Amino acid sequence: MNDKMQHFLVCAVIAAVVAVIALLRFGMTMTQSAVAAVAVAMAAGFGKEYGDRCAVGNRWDWLDIAADLGGAVVGTVVVIAAEAMIRIMIYNTLRF
């Protein structure tokens, strides 16, 4: 699998998991959950790039960071959109 795709997918999964935990376990708002999810995923991405930079024969790659950001945003949006759709369905079901 392509390195950029790995960065994208790993950050998407990290962001999605953090968003779900923030929403369901900590009761954060959608905005708070989104900020937390992107922040944690990007921290992981920056940490990975720092590790790469310190490895012999490797270097910092801003395109990896861009892939991390893309994945973090997509993972967050998927969870936040699903949460919003569930709330709308519940609201419409309970409306008289």
Taking only the tens of pLDDT, the chain with its 96 residues reads 798 999 999 999 999 999 999 999 999 999 999 999 999 999 999 999 999 888 888 889 999 999 999 999 999 999 999 999 998 999 888 876
Question: What's the pLDDT at 26?
Answer: 97
Question: What's the pLDDT at 82?
Answer: 96
DSSP three-state, residue 55: coil
What is this structure's pTM? 0.89
25 secondary structure, DSSP code: T
Q: Which residues contact 40 (CB under 8 A, 6 or more apart)?
A: 14, 15, 18
